[in-house]
Structure formats: C-alpha cells, structure tokens
Structure 1
Amino acid sequence: MKQEFKAEPYLEKIRNIGIAAHIDAGKTTTTERILFYTGKIHRMGEVDEGSATMDWMEQEKERGITITAAATTVYWSKGTGEPYRINIVDTPGHVDFTIEVERSLKVLDGAIIVFCGVGGVEPQSETVWRQADKYQVPRIAFVNKLDRVGSDFLRVVQMMEDKFTSKPVPIQLPLGSEDEFRGVIDLIEEQGYIWLDETEGREFRPIPIPNELKGLVKEYRERMIEAVCDFDEELLRKYLAGEPILPEDIRRGLRKGTLAIKLVPVLCGSALKNKGIQKLLDAVIDYLPSPVEVKPATGIHPKTKSLEERRADPKSPFSALIFKIANDPHRGLLSYIRVYSGKVRQGDTVLVVPTMDKVRIQKLLLLHANRKDEIEMLQAGEIGAVVGIKDVKTGYTLANLAHPIAFEPMEFPEPVVFIAVEPKSKGDEPKLFQSLAILSIEDPTFKVKTDPETSQTIISGMGELHLDILIDRLKREFGVPCRVGKPQVSYRETITKEGVAEGRFIRQTGGKGHYAVVTLKLQPIAKGVEIYNEIKEGTIPKEFIPAIRQGIEENIDAGVLAGYPIINIRVHIVDGAFHEVDSSEMDFRIASSIAFRDAFIKANPVLMQPIMDLEVVTPEDYLGSVIADINARNGKVTHLESVKGHRIIKALVPLAATFGYTTTLRSLTQGRATSSMQFSHYEKLSEEEKAKIFPTIPTF
C-alpha cells in the first residue's frame, strides 16, 4: 500500500513568492512597504529618493529601477496567528532585464503581479504574465497607485479580463479615488478599511460601507461568489440553497481556484500612500501556495536518463536549483539556490550537475537585498545562497552524491544589441577580461567575444539600457573605465528556399594527402536550427560525422553573408565519400564547411533584422508628433487607444531605428510621454535597406 506523503509542519508556513510588474507600476515601493510593515526595515525607502532597500546596486539607486532580482526573507502573522515565513524575490520591470524575471519565476511557488492604476496592463506586465503561465505560477494581482489622477481600478480589472486567460476576481474595491483614495472595501468580509496617515499606515480601522457604494459592493460580491463556486462544492451548495456564505467558505474556494491557475484574486491600494499593504500580505498567506502545494519538482537522472521527482520533504535526498549567480565584492561569487528537497549544511559535499563535480559547501547565507546572514542549514522549500562554488552556471543543479538529479535547464534569449568596448588604460586589459567573465557568469543574456578581424572586444545584450548598466558596473564595481563604440544591431541570416551542394576537399601532396567529400541539403524552417545525419551506413565512417557537424555549426555561428548567426534552418547530411588512408577529421570539417557555404548561397539567403514592440503613452496633444516620428523610423502603428486624456500607441519598429529613442521622445513631448520596448521577432531586410546597411553584399 502506498504511504501517504505527510508534509513537515514548517513547510505549510512558507511562501516563496516573486513580485513582478511593468516598470513604474510601483513594484519596488510595494516591496519596501512589505519590508516596513513586517518589521524588516525601520524606515521606509523611496525609489525616487534612491533609498529603496531592495534596489541595492548604485545604478538602481540612480535610475530608480530594479535591475537584478534581489531576495529577502520576512515574517508575517495574519491577525494573531502564527508567523509565516515569506521569501520574496523582487524582480525588475524593465524589459532589458526580463531574464531576471524568468529566472526568478522558475523557482517561485507564487507571485504578486503589480499593475499601475493608471497604465493598467502594460507590455511588460503581459510578458511577466506569460512567463508565470509558462512556469504554472499561481498569482494574485495588486492594482497600485489608486491615489493618482486618472487611476481606475475597474478599468484595469477589465483590461486583465480582456488580455489574460485566468479570470481576475476583485476581492476588494477602492474607497474613494485619486486624491480622495482612503482605503479599501473587503468584499469577502463586507467591511470597509481606512489607513491612518499619522501612523505611516501601520494602523488601519474598520468603517461601515458608504451607502453610495452598497450597490456596487453587492454586485461585485455576487460576481466573486459565482466565480468561486466552480471550485468548491460546499460553497456552490450553500449558494444554490440561499444559505449564508461565510468568509472562510469564499477564501477556501478562492484558494482552490488560484492554485489551479484559473482565478486571480485582485486587490487594490497605494503603496506610496501606505494603503492596502497589510491586506496584500494576508492574501499571500490565504491564496498563494506553500512548497507542498505545488507539483513536485521533476528532472532526469543524469546517468540513466530516467524521470526523477523531488517532493518538498527535508527527509528526502538533497536537491536544489541555482537560479542566479552574483558577484559579491567581499565574498566572491554567490550561487542563489532554491532547495527542492532534503537539507544541506555547511561542510556538506554535494554534486554539481551536469559537470558531475563534487563540491564542498563552505558557507550558507540567508538573504536580505545586499545584507546576508550566515546560517547553518537550508532545507526543502527554502531560498538562500551558497558561497564559493566555482565553475557553475545559472540553471545548474546541486544534488545528493548518491541520488543525483538534473532539473530542466533554463532557456535564455539571444542578445540583440552589441558594442565594441576597450579599457581607457591599456594596462587594464587583463582586468577588463576578468570583469567581463564575471559579468557573463552572472547574466546569461550578456555575451562577450573577440572580433577575429579587428581583435576588438565585442559585448552584446538585450538592449541599450542593459549594456549601459554593465559598462557602468565595469567602472564602479570593477574599477575599469571603458571607451565604447556605438550600439550595433545583431542581425541574423537565413534562407528562403532549399539549397543542395557538394563540398570537396581533395589534395595530393606526395605524402599523406587530404580527402573528404560531403553533400548537404539546407531547408528553411519556422524556428530554430536542426541538423540531421542521413548518410547510409558505410558511406563515411562514423568517427567523421562529429567533424562534419562541427563544420556546419561553425558556419551557423559565424554566418555566411555578413558574419551574423544563422537562424531557422534545417541541415541534412545526405552523402559523402572518404579515402581509407588520406581522410582525416579536419578534411571533413573543411569539406562540410565548403558544402554549407555553397548550399547556403544557392538557397536564396536573406538578412533578418530584429523588430521591437514599442508602446508609448503620451498626452493627446503630442499624438501627431509621436506617430510621425514612429513612421519616420519605418515603424508600423498596430494599435491606438485612449485613456483619460492620454493615448496609448503600440507599434512595431526596427531595432536599428530605436537607438536614442527615449531622448527624442522626451524632447517631442516635453518629457510627458513614457515608452517601453521589447524584442518581438526577426523580419527580412528589404533589398533597399540591405543596400544601405550592407552595400558590399550582392543580391542573390
């Protein structure tokens, strides 16, 4: 008989959550207030003043945005109950740092998604939502900034309804709006609450629901109960029988719907004005899962490749995922880990997968933004950091020596912008290379290479801001001031039809000669790169196949037309010939390279440029100028909408035309418009554009 798994009591009192949002939705301020009301900090930090606790990098304090996912642990008691441990990862909202959000969501059990009461569902909030769907993360929504002019709680809820598959369920309504925003109405308890400004929002008191809101409260409470009935039979029975419905009935059903990723409880408030945060913390406990309520983590056995499962159980073998690596100026490289099963103590030896290295755990840390406290042990369900593990990457697994497991590695997008960089002082070159190596370990979307022709160091990343901040870090953190070139676009190459070619590398030199013949067929595909070996057995010895693949892969990385990586291609190795004495691996690598280049040219090759999704929110008065500027950049406006005196413009614009866009937008609108951008897709460069950018490349 299968023994039922019984969770350790401490696990039910843990919540591993992320806080994510679009830039400027007030997410870092929300996190600051959470730290303040849970007693983690004794003075509130403000993003605008540059004193926010979670924004601990110099660049974050200056720019007022969160760049790296900082982690912290807080404790919260609902009412007079036992304290719950909440591990919070505060993630960036700027699109150049989407990788941080993706990494964090993979190791979290639940999320708070913060929306701006004015802007509503903005591009980055849609991206975060999609990422949360991808990793099946239950979430609650917090509509913030309801004290702002133009804020509208119900309009934001409607936008969520229109754009997302999970159903948003308001469990609160705002009391007052804009300047008059005072508190919230709890639809579950049918009770109003107002926050006392003189206590910095530490205290709030119940008030009766104002008469003019009773109709709206009745309507939205009814809607909430109907939405929740689908998930709780007892609640449905009571509802149909007309029996009184208790708050705990609603919370129970709402929790089930949230954990099933079908419902999203929506709360409201104003973090800046200290309203609504305690109720948000209560909702984290009420509706987001503990580590035992999410599916067990799955991976494969690195040797047998059999499927393995790890429950949140401290008694089972240890396993953890490295979800971030950061350089600490005092301690060196820190590996942030989420422990899925078992426990790990200082001094333990664990296995690193996939390298299969055995490493000793020197120190374990509990995290609070940039402060780290040493601890003896981390166990199932907890998040912390390990000091001093070398040669690891984000996405690697740490496991028990006798029970290895490899969790699914993370996928990272390819960089789209690159610049040349050199130290201002020649003597700083070794330091520059060392620093760039550390930064590329920390951030998998940041790449470093040397241009083989010019010997320049080329760095590439997800956008202008991403590279700006890394250059800034080189100067401040690593003491290497740099000169940089202009940002350049990372184009791609691909083909539009089938191409077949034979590559021959045959040389007779008197002694041992060279002999290799390879035939390749190239085909365009929708996405990715695929290589298939279709050579009949006996045509070419098996030991030469890896060399043929290497010749293909080198060309895919280096490009044929203009030196850019090749995408969306399928390569078939179809035929070849060898010589018993003269053939070598190098010969086949060269022959496959010749075949690839010839087949590529025959396959009607084209250059592809990155296209960005641009969203601009501008006052009505500047609409004409903003659209004219987008058109001048070869952009296509895809959507226009009006929101209380503002217009939201969505457009697709070539990345090459976006450099310096924020500065132009500022001068066009006297600093009153905001914009955000994210990579959308690659698109074929027209012959006209190609002739302008690459005049030496012929037309095929």
Structure 2
Amino acid sequence: MRWEGGDGKSVKRLSLEELNEVEVQLAQELRLARIALVELLSEHDDTMVEKFLESEEDHLLVSPQDILDSLRRCLLEGKGRKIIPVFAGASFRNIGVQPLLDNVVNLLPSPTETPDPEVSIGGVKGGLRQLLSGELIVEQQEKETPAKAKQKKKSALVADSRGAIKQLHGCALAFKVVNDAKRGVLVYVRVYSGSLDKGSLLFNTNLNVSERAPRLLKMYANDAIEVDSLQEGHIGVVVGLKHTRTGDTLVASAGNKANPPEPLNTLQLRPINVPPPVFFASVEPHSLSEEKRMQESLAMLLREDPSLHVSVDEDSGQTLLSGMGELHLEIARDRLINDLKAKASMGRIEIGYRECPLGPSGPVTKIFDKEVAGRKGKAGCTALVEFYDPETSPTPDTHALSVETANGNQIILLAPELQVTTNKKGHEESPFLPAGLDVGTVRTSLQNGCLAALARGPQFTFPMHSTRVTLTLHPETHIFGSDTTAASLSAAARLATSTALHNLLSNPAGVPSGSPGTSLMEPVMNVIISVDEASLGSVVHDISSSRGGHIISLDEDLPITSTELSESKNLDIESDYDTDLPPIDPSKIYAPPDPFQSPTVAGASLPPDSGNRPRTIAAKVPLKEMVGYLKHLRSLSAGRGTFVMSVDRFEKMSAPRQKAVLAELRGGY
C-alpha cells in the first residue's frame, strides 16, 4: 500500500509482482516478512499448519484470508498473550489509518466475544453479567452479613438487592469528554446494559449527582444524527451534561428516578485507578478579569482528563496544575491556551514532594465547638500520628471500626465503647449515637476530616505520606447529643490531626525524646534505558554519579522484580505488569533493516561485542533528576537512546539533599 499526497486519503495498492518491477529490495523484504509471519502463526495455530501443507509448503501461497483467520484465532484463544499484531503508520500525515481500522474489524473480538466487563459495586468487584444475574449481590451480602445471622435474613437481603438490580434501566460508561466549539461539551458514552433514553435522568455514581440527558447523538466522523435512545452495545454522545467527567459511570433507573436504590448508587463500570500526580506547574491569568475564564477552562481540562489535578497553594495563592509527566503538562498547557483560548501562562514544571513524620506525636484530644452553617456543632476526637511502613509497622487492632489506606497513609478508627452491632437489615448501629447519625456517617466524617489535615504537612506544606493516624472516639467525652453532627465530627478530626502533626515540631507531652520532626520525601522512578554498547559506559556513569541513582541490572529480561512491584503498589498505583506473560524471543521477531544505520553496521554479520549491540539498563533514579532527561540521553547516545519510567515509591531524602532541594524551592535563600 502506497499513500500518495500529504493528506493520507489517496492509497495505491500494488501486488507483489508489480512491486517487484518497481522496488526489488522492498519486494524481497516483504517476502521475508510473509515467511516470518506464517512461521510464527504455525507455532500457535494448528489450522495454519494445515493451510501451509495444503499450499505445498510455500509460505507465499497461503491466502491473506487464512492469515487473518489465524491471527484472529490466536488473539481470541490466547487473549492477546501469544500474538500481538503491530501496525506502522504516521498519524500526523494520516498514513496507515485505513489498514489499522480494517483490522480492528477483522481481528478484534466482537461485543459477544469479549470477556465480562469488570464492575465494582459496594466495594466488591466482579463481572457485569454476574451483577445482572444476581450472583455478585449474593457474594456481597454473604460478606456483609455476620456469620451468626439466620438464613432467612440473608435470603431477604439477597432478594432486596436483586429487586434493586431489576430497577436498572440502563448503565453506561463516559469514556471521553470533548469540548466542541459548535455543539458544546460532548460526552461520549458506551451503553453496557439496557438503554439510555432522551430526556432521562442519569445518576453519576462517581459524583453522586443526577443530570438530565436533553439530547442524544450518534456520531459518524464529524456528522451527528440525533436519536431518541442508545441501546446496549452502542456508542453515542450525550449533549448538555454539566458535571460528567471521563471515566464516570451513568445509571438510569426504571421510572426515571433521580436516585437509584442501593446498591445501584455505588455501581462503577471499569473503575479507573489514577496514580498520584508527581509533576506540577503554576498557572497564572494575564489579568484579574481573565481569572474566571481560566478557572472554567481548567475545569474543562479536568473533565477531559481525570489524571490532572488542580489545587491552590494557601501560602502564595497560586493555582497549581498537577500531572503525570513533562509531556502530560505540556499537552495540557497547549490545550488550555490554544484550544480553550484561556489567556494564561504556565510556570516551570516542579516536582510534587511529600512530607513524613520521623516519630510519634503523642495523643492529642481536641473539642470542636463552633457554629457550622448557622447550626451549633460540637464534637471531639483524639488523634495520634506516627510513621507508617506497610512492611514494618505493627498490624492494626482487629477490633478497629475501620482501617483505611490512601495516598500512602493509613487511618485507623477506634471506638470500642460505641458497641457497634448489625441490625436485621444488615446496617450498623450504636445506642450511643444521637438520632440522625449512623455508624457509616461517623466513619466517613472522621476519615474525611483526617484526610483534609493530611493534605498539608506542618513543616514544608507538602502532602503527608507514610503517615499512620489513629483516631479514637469516646462517646462519653466526644459526643454531645444533637449538637454532634457529621460536619462537627469531620472538623474535630481535622483539628485533632492537624494539632498532632504540628506537635511533631514542638515538644508534645508524652514524648520523652522531644520533637521528632518531619522529613521531605521525593518520588523515585523505575527507569529502563535502551542504548547501544558504545554509549553504555557514559549513560551508566551519568545515572550513578551525576543524577544520584543506582543501577539495578543490565540486559535482564525482567528488570523489575515482584518485590519492587509490591512496593510501587504501596503508592496506590496499580501496575499493568503481568509476570505470567511468556518472555519475548527477539530472534523470532521480523524487523526490516534500519534505514538510519551507518553502512559499516548494516552488514549481516555483526560481531557480538560490537559497539552497536543494544543494551538495557534498569535503574532507580529520583524524579527530579529525570526532568528533561530525554535531551541529555540523546546527546550521550548520538540520538539513539530511549527510556521509559514509572513511579516506584516515595523515599526519604538525606539531610544534604533535603537542604539543597529546599534552597532551590526557596529561590536560593
């Protein structure tokens, strides 16, 4: 296939015979590629072996349709583990789009052949078909119901949940949000069950808000056709939604109710785990009159990309945009200024550091007693802050009201005197709580207050990490009848946790060793660098000496070990790395000759100790030292080096490094 012109629309097809007359060398390479493809498929597909024998053992006589059928069988049976088709193209010039789309249809599974979509409901994960059949709810209720409960009560709970599922009129995933200049905000959705109807109320289970769908569209490239409903399996666009973001789940209830019954209000389709941001840059409007427009544009960016975060620095008042990397923030800046037309500028890219305690703070009890929204609120709480390491810290008390781990911190709620029991309906209750306040609300309020305090460290104002907070609630001294509300409990938890954090810098009572203080932590990256033999020494020296990293391995197939993966998960980062995948044998992969190779290297007989032999370096390097590293790597490796990196964990800084980083953050003072 030859693309003629610069727009990628005109494609000329040549047979192998026709190509042989024009470019003999390219035709010969295509023959080698076809032989390699048939040989590879024959290793995984017995039918391809039969077709090969029927073709008189001539690789070129195997029909294209037989190859497509074999590829499809390998993809479906091996679930993408054995064979991975790779297509080449140039998206900037629209080259290679047509064969890619054709083979999406030819090779990928149809909706009926795909595995059961993953859902999460009530904290339990499973498949969508399991949910609709009621099996997932049975599992959930069995986990929630105490072991001593009677079978009749369990059956009633299951029946209630199945009745709620029957009220599910439709559920869809908002997989893309686009700001269209003419039509406004377009929310692209895929309907996984039932249907979405025009004018229906859609409940967003991520944001707990209901929105009406005034218009539904089916898109055909740039053309849109308005429809009355989107059926199961269809992809369409909802116009007019004001809050829905990328990755949100939309649920429609029977009878067009605003709020679906439990547990439907917690249903999430293909839940996304977004890693914490590690880069941030300041965003400033050109004038005060442009600030509102800038905030609206930033809100639009956040709806499109859930891995972006916006926060406001309390000290400087600056608006900070956080993302996953340099390129991520550069694309966000381009979208903000060029596409959304915001009159703003972005400051230099900075690193998102963390702060951690170096010891315990001692218990701190605080009573919150103020008016909240015109209503008197009074509640108390005791907080204890200490360093937390998932591997070495002691196991939490088994009788704790809850143990929550988020953003590298752990929150333990203790309330032994509440005497929490489970009623006939499976709900937790306590005789010591005032009317209108249940155990679930108390748990959520205390956790939210604690998380708010952990968002800002006491010494360096960075978010806390590797911190364990133990909150204790005593009904006699911390609950004050009807004056104790969810808001006052949350405020008490925040006040107690914040005071305990500041006690780390002073001399709190009960801590004989004095103030333990806090330390800065920085993100350390798993970096895998690919260079040639000639550049290996200079790159290794640069990583280990100039950038403060250390080399893990050279030329290993699995440079990231399972223990390192478990450490990365402590950052709440879900890794897609699958240790069950078979190793890749490069000798079985066909690749055409490198057109940029020097003539001395292009020969077939390359000695094993040649300076152009590819080498792989696995290292751990502080993220700060990786900012702008690509340009430096290319200068060290004559433009041939590449690297990939992922967050490994946050580590404490040494005293000299912390002093240098703080001096740089403060502008050298």
- Taking structure 2 as the reference length, the TM-score comes to 0.60
**Which is greater in Rg?**
2
For the 8 Å contact 1:365–1:386, the answer to whether it is kept is: no
Letter in 2 for 1:566: M
1:268-417 equivalences in 2 (<5 Å)? 271=89, 284-297=104-117, 299=119, 309=129, 317-344=169-196, 346-347=198-199, 349-354=201-206, 355-366=208-219, 368=221, 371-376=222-227, 378-402=230-254, 405=264, 406-408=267-269, 409-417=271-279
Match of 1:228 in 2: 45
For the 8 Å contact 1:301–1:308, the answer to whether it is kept is: no
For the 8 Å contact 2:204–2:210, the answer to whether it is kept is: yes
Distance 1:222 1:344, change over 3 A: same
Q: Could you tell me how far 1:321 is from its partner in structure 2?
A: 0.3
- Structure 1: distance between partners of 2:331 and 2:97: 31
1:45-444 equivalences in 2 (<5 Å)? 45=7, 196=19, 217=35, 224-229=41-46, 255-260=72-77, 261=79, 263-267=81-85, 271=89, 284-297=104-117, 299=119, 309=129, 317-344=169-196, 346-347=198-199, 349-354=201-206, 355-366=208-219, 368=221, 371-376=222-227, 378-402=230-254, 405=264, 406-408=267-269, 409-444=271-306
Match of 2:411 in 1: 531
Match of 1:557 in 2: 455
SS in 1 for 2:329: helix
Distance 1:385 1:506, change over 3 A: closer
1:660 aligns with 2:628: yes
Distance 1:614 1:426, change over 3 A: same
1:239-265 per-position Cα deviation (integer Å, ceiling 9, x unaligned): 9x9999998998777645522426433
Distance 1:635 1:372, change over 3 A: farther
Distance 1:689 1:307, change over 3 A: same
- Structure 2: distance between partners of 1:357 and 1:675: 44
Which of 621, 636, 652 is the equivalent residue of 2:550?
Answer: 636
- Structure 2: distance between partners of 1:274 and 1:199: 24
For the 8 Å contact 1:520–1:599, the answer to whether it is kept is: no
Distance 1:276 1:337, change over 3 A: closer
SS in 1 for 2:185: strand
- Structure 1: distance between partners of 2:231 and 2:377: 62
Distance 1:470 1:298, change over 3 A: closer
How many residue pairs were aligned? 496
- Structure 2: distance between partners of 1:518 and 1:606: 24
Q: Could you tell me how far 1:695 is from its partner in structure 2?
A: 6.7
1:685 aligns with 2:653: yes
For the 8 Å contact 2:450–2:493, the answer to whether it is kept is: no
1:440-455 equivalences in 2 (<5 Å)? 440-455=302-317
For the 8 Å contact 1:269–1:277, the answer to whether it is kept is: no
Distance 1:629 1:419, change over 3 A: same
For the 8 Å contact 1:416–1:463, the answer to whether it is kept is: yes
- Structure 2: distance between partners of 1:556 and 1:647: 43
Q: Could you tell me how far 1:227 is from its partner in structure 2?
A: 2.7
Deviates more, 1:295-304 or 1:590-599: 295-304
SS in 2 for 1:431: helix
Letter in 1 for 2:253: L
- Structure 2: distance between partners of 1:330 and 1:696: 46
- Structure 2: distance between partners of 1:515 and 1:390: 36
Structure 1 spans left out of the alignment, 5+ residues: 1-32, 47-51, 54-181, 184-191
Distance 1:195 1:588, change over 3 A: same
- Structure 2: distance between partners of 1:696 and 1:220: 55
SS in 1 for 2:246: coil
Cα RMSD over matched residues? 5.1
Match of 2:498 in 1: 593
Which of 468, 471, 478 is the equivalent residue of 1:578?
Answer: 478
- Structure 1: distance between partners of 2:521 and 2:18: 55
Distance 1:446 1:209, change over 3 A: closer
Letter in 2 for 1:611: V
Match of 1:152 in 2: none
Letter in 2 for 1:373: A
For the 8 Å contact 2:200–2:252, the answer to whether it is kept is: no
Match of 1:501 in 2: 362
Distance 1:459 1:322, change over 3 A: same
Match of 2:576 in 1: none
Letter in 1 for 2:292: P
For the 8 Å contact 2:213–2:238, the answer to whether it is kept is: no
1:478-493 equivalences in 2 (<5 Å)? 478-493=340-355
Q: Could you tell me how far 1:351 is from its partner in structure 2?
A: 4.0
For the 8 Å contact 1:346–1:364, the answer to whether it is kept is: no
- Structure 2: distance between partners of 1:266 and 1:395: 26
Q: Could you tell me how far 1:330 is from its partner in structure 2?
A: 2.0
Q: Could you tell me how far 1:609 is from its partner in structure 2?
A: 0.9
Distance 1:469 1:395, change over 3 A: closer
- Taking structure 1 as the reference length, the TM-score comes to 0.58
Q: Could you tell me how far 1:318 is from its partner in structure 2?
A: 3.1
Q: Could you tell me how far 1:491 is from its partner in structure 2?
A: 1.0
For the 8 Å contact 2:119–2:128, the answer to whether it is kept is: yes
1:302-321 per-position Cα deviation (integer Å, ceiling 9, x unaligned): 8999985389xxxx943210
For the 8 Å contact 2:454–2:498, the answer to whether it is kept is: no
Distance 1:198 1:684, change over 3 A: farther
For the 8 Å contact 2:504–2:518, the answer to whether it is kept is: no
Deviates more, 1:419-428 or 1:594-603: 594-603
- Structure 2: distance between partners of 1:690 and 1:448: 26
For the 8 Å contact 1:525–1:568, the answer to whether it is kept is: yes
Distance 1:228 1:684, change over 3 A: farther
For the 8 Å contact 2:247–2:306, the answer to whether it is kept is: no
Distance 1:551 1:206, change over 3 A: closer
Deviates more, 1:599-608 or 1:287-296: 599-608
- Structure 2: distance between partners of 1:358 and 1:265: 43
SS in 2 for 1:537: helix
1:316-343 per-position Cα deviation (integer Å, ceiling 9, x unaligned): 9432100121222222211121222344
- Structure 2: distance between partners of 1:209 and 1:550: 61
